[in-house]
Amino acid sequence: MHNQNKISFLSSLVSSGNMPHAMLFSGTDRKAKMGISLGFAKFMLGGTEMHEGDFEEFFETGCECGVCMSVDKGIHPDLTVLPDYPVSIGSVRDLKKKFAMSPFASYMKVCVVEFAETLRKESANAFLKLLEEPKGNALLILIAPSRSSILPTIFSRVSEIRFFSSINMSDLIPEDELERCNQEIEVLERGEIQEKFAVARRYDLKNKNELASLLDVWLMRLRDKFYKDDSANAAALAKRIFKIKSITGWSNASPQLLLEKLVLDSE
165 phi and psi angles, rounded to 5 deg:
-75, 140
Q: Is omega for the bond preceding 152 within 30 degrees of 0, making it cis? A: no
| Number of domains the chain contains | 2
- 141 and 173 in a single domain? The answer is no
Crossing angle of the two packed helices 208-229 and 232-247, in degrees rounded to 10: 160
pLDDT given at position 25: 93
- 205 and 219 in a single domain? The answer is yes
pLDDT given at position 91: 94
Give the integer Cα–Cα distance in Å for 169 and 184: 15
Element (H, E) at 109: strand 109-113
Of the candidate ranges 34-43, 51-60, 84-93, 169-178, the one whose mean pLDDT is the lowest: 169-178
pLDDT given at position 114: 93
Cβ neighbours of residue 171 closer than 8 Å, sequence gap 6 or more: none
- 194 and 125 in a single domain? The answer is no
> pLDDT band at 6, cuts 50/70/90?
confident
pLDDT given at position 156: 87
Question: In this model, does residue 222 exceed pLDDT 80?
Answer: no
Asked which of 105, 133, 163 is the last residue of a domain, the reply is 163
pLDDT given at position 43: 93
Crossing angle of the two packed helices 4-16 and 30-46, in degrees rounded to 10: 30
Question: In this model, does residue 190 exceed pLDDT 70?
Answer: yes
> Range of 211's domain?
169-265
> pLDDT band at 267, cuts 50/70/90?
low
Give the pLDDT confidence of 133-181 residue by residue, as tens digits: 777 789 999 999 888 788 888 988 898 888 865 555 555 566 777 788 8
pLDDT given at position 228: 59
- 181 and 152 in a single domain? The answer is no
Average pLDDT over residues 33-59: 82
pLDDT given at position 50: 58
Element (H, E) at 112: strand 109-113
User: What's the pTM?
Assistant: 0.64
